[in-house]
Amino acid sequence: MAKTLAPVSERALIGRINRRLDRDYKKLYKSRPGSRLEANVGRFYVVDVWRNTVVDTHVDLESYGRELGVLAEWEQLE
């Protein structure tokens, strides 16, 4: 019997991640498709808002959410 995973939208996962990162004064951003920024830091990147520096680039949303503990094992990115 195959295990069914509950879908979580990209927008909901970004919200969960940002609420968790808020404790550490960080924020997840999404770059515009085809932009120079996307070529440099990837589609998603994390900024330390206290120091105004990019601290993580080329973030994979689903694995980052699991790493932070905001995406449960029975959930998956839509």
Residues with pLDDT less than 50, the chain? none
Domain assignment of residue 34, yes or no: yes
Domain assignment of residue 33, yes or no: yes
Domain hosting 40: range is 24-77
Number of domains forming the structure of the chain: 1
Instruction: In whole angstroms, give the CA distance from residue 62 to residue 76.
Output: 7
Domain assignment of residue 12, yes or no: no
pLDDT tens for 19-36 read: 999 999 999 999 999 999
> What mean pLDDT, rounded, does the chain reach?
95
Domain assignment of residue 3, yes or no: no
Domain assignment of residue 11, yes or no: no
The pLDDT of residue 13 is 97
**Cβ-contact 73, 19 below 8 angstroms:** no
Instruction: In whole angstroms, give the CA distance from residue 43 to residue 24.
Output: 21
